[in-house]
Structure 1
């Protein structure tokens, strides 16, 4: 089995060795800093000594000999010398080819200091002579490699080698004992992880009292908790499986026992309303219409309950085909206009001239739009309902907006839960509150999104986006989830 982490027996010696190297590097850094300080001090003192000596010699000879003396002193001392006029900062004699006037003025004003030249950091000192009217300036470069650097490097290298060797030996001695315990625990855990072994495994013997032993003891505690959790899970799973089986059987029986007489009632109501057996009085026709409307409402409730059950159990699957969403929207609006006209409520439809094609389950898209448009008509008493279909390169979008009472902000997410409706008792309408829950699940199965925006007293707007092509986010079905769970398995981003 591949391991991505570095084993402990390698890390421990490596850490100790790196610590030794760090200590050696720190010692070397301190030594180099001290050597550099000594180098600067030596260069400064040498420049002062040369300047004073040069001034004394220049004071003892005549002016016509100053030039040869300066050149000769520069060759012998390995330094540079200048003779300056104090009052004018004029260069009288110099071993340098050229001297900048500003630099000469600095020598007169400061008399000692450092400056950067082509040779690096250079120390200068000025000593007066000729009654203070002239200055002898000596420039000494600090050596790049102090004389003790090689000795320091040798000492540090030897010290580092000894320190690393000692650290490696100590670390190896410590890691050797740890390695055996770690490999023992690892081998037992790897054996437990094999597929042919029982998942609960057996406790690992604790052989030491160090960190490895504590880790082993903690693992054994975790193993016992896992065994208890697995037993509880198996019991819960067995109960949930039996419950789902009983629920499926109950819903199947409910569907058959309710649909059969309900279809008969609706069929006979249609026959009577068609006046096949003779004309009906106005009162009889009104009563039959109530019977048929109530039957249709009951069948709609049964269909919603069965559809939600099929979605939750994972039995509902999409049958995709290339369909015109705009055409589906036209059919849904045409059906909803029957109810809307009874309330004097206009439904406005805006669709593109070209077909809005997408790979969808046409039947389920019709169910999605029927739920949303039906809710808009149901909750809107004044104003209008508008259905807009649009298409871009990736999605077909359907927006259903109304001028109803609106939805409180705190209820915008709750309306997509099962058996939930918004508003107080006066705002309740007929229905189970399953329509929007089913709508969001079906949209998610298509890989789309459904969003709602609302302002109290001004209405609500539902936006449904369906991908044109079958993408990675779409599902043929939604995995089953525990009955009655409030949160959907698939969360919208």
Structure 2
């Protein structure tokens, strides 16, 4: 099968408006074509779900094509003209699985913090979008790229690279030390060898486990860490299943039940955000908390944060003005933590900005970045309060946990910098992250 990524567009009425050859061929073999409803049910369902929720949806699906089943990775991106489809994978599904492989797959899915997949040439065909948002990589942009653009593999304690041995022998592997690009976050990578319908090696389906810093002797893992590990995978499954139910993936559904499913998915996302916040809260309040300081490019991080929030901004009718592509501002900080702060600031600015406005992310030569919005502003009496735990400008408004700015300021100060705000009612807000410039 083809290893390409095929693109297409489904219009607001659910008709296929554009399609590259591989995607068009699949749809035509299912009885559809350009200008007609999408004849592949799985693709139609994902397009309908993305359009209804107005958020990007990425899923692995299996579709029937002639005499074979084809495994695809599909991303559905809502746009003004409809829903943009990116379809990768194109692998014939194995008709049988060796004894015990189902149990191994279930174990991998349960133990991993997030998932990835590659083809036989080690080109990525799936990477977790949620992990990309959290750890600073473009999960969709990496599709079709070598896995080494996501991971920097390192020798294990025996001086070996398990992934190389697994590739040479077409078998599964585990415990491969690696670092995420570009944040340098240490991880352990494992994967099951995949087979096609003829039993030939077809790539890897893998999981990633985050490597935590060693705890001081006699100190147990924090409650936040245990909560995150225990809840992240099951919550992800609940959200995915609720989204599918809401979209009617298994057939028509009464409106009340679809609404219940939407409520479940929304509550799941909110709870997942709380889990992330609690884990971060415990981390920054530990007496031994130390960010991983290194030289960083603050302009690059501002561009990355703006890119990660571009879909949310477009859905809200807000434009994010980011630093020019050739701009570079050196600073000292923790790559992942600075990205986390900027995503929080820009995300808040998008949330509180009126439709048709612009959020500015401006980087300054003194190793600072200012995020400015044109929202309703913050009263002087509230400007200190919003940096406290569980505090928000207006608790009656839907939103986060009230921990984001508290965590962001703690992180900034732990890196030798600060996070401040300038605002007045009706005049928007200017949040400035100041970091240390290089010596």
Structure-2-length-normalised TM-score: 0.44
Identify the structure with the greater helix proportion.
1
Identify the structure with the greater strand proportion.
2
Q: Indicate the structure (1 or 2) with the bigger Cα radius of gyration.
A: 1
